[in-house]
Structure 1
Amino acid sequence: MPEELSPLQQDVLDRYSKLANILHSLDDTLNEINTSSTESRTSPEEVINEMREIEIKIGLVGTLLKGSVYSFILQQKKQKQEQQQLQQ
């Protein structure tokens, strides 16, 4: 008799399914790139340079996001301290 899945288990399975679909799509895209005509093929050096630019931009966005979250947490902590001082 199969057991019912908990919501967490179902969520994990759904995410794995979504990841599998994305990986299959990526594999199809890579196969398409590898089988494309040599005339339209981009050199590996150009691809690496473009990927490096994307990596730098993603790193910048990540840093900005971390800074924003840190600032938000500090603001909340300051507000709590001010509220505690007013209550005393």
Structure 2
Amino acid sequence: MREELSLLQQNVLERYQKLAQVLHSLDNTLKQFNDNGNENVSSEVVLQQIREIEVKIGLVGTLLKGSVYSLVLQRRQELERNEIV
């Protein structure tokens, strides 16, 4: 069957397979978390904590992109100044 698929299709299927494995792993981790006597912690609390982490990761990503963009602009300005002189 793999011979019938294009390289792009194979790549997409492999990524879906990796995603499925990660989701199964996450599901197993959450089941273990719930089975370890943490009845006091509801899934809503866990989801809220995950959302907070997601927001922080998004902020870090935005700051990183801004820093890289600033660096690129600085380098471009330096090159333009060197060309003028």
Give the RMSD, CA atoms, in angstroms. Answer: 3.1
Report the Cα offset of residue 75 of structure 1. Answer: 1.4
Structure 1 residues not aligned, in runs of 5+: none
More helix by share: 2
1:79 alignment partner in structure 2? 75
Higher mean alpha-carbon deviation, 47-56 vs 75-84, is at: 47-56
**TM-score calculated relative to the size of structure 2:** 0.64
2:79 maps to amino acid: Q
| Distance in 2 of aligned mates of 1:50 and 1:80 | 45
Report the Cα offset of residue 61 of structure 1. Answer: 3.1
Report the Cα offset of residue 53 of structure 1. Answer: 3.6
2:40 maps to amino acid: S
2:10 alignment partner in structure 1? 10
**TM-score calculated relative to the size of structure 1:** 0.62
Find out whether 1:23 has 2:19 as its counterpart. no
Number of aligned positions between the proteins = 83
Percent of matched pairs sharing the same residue: 30
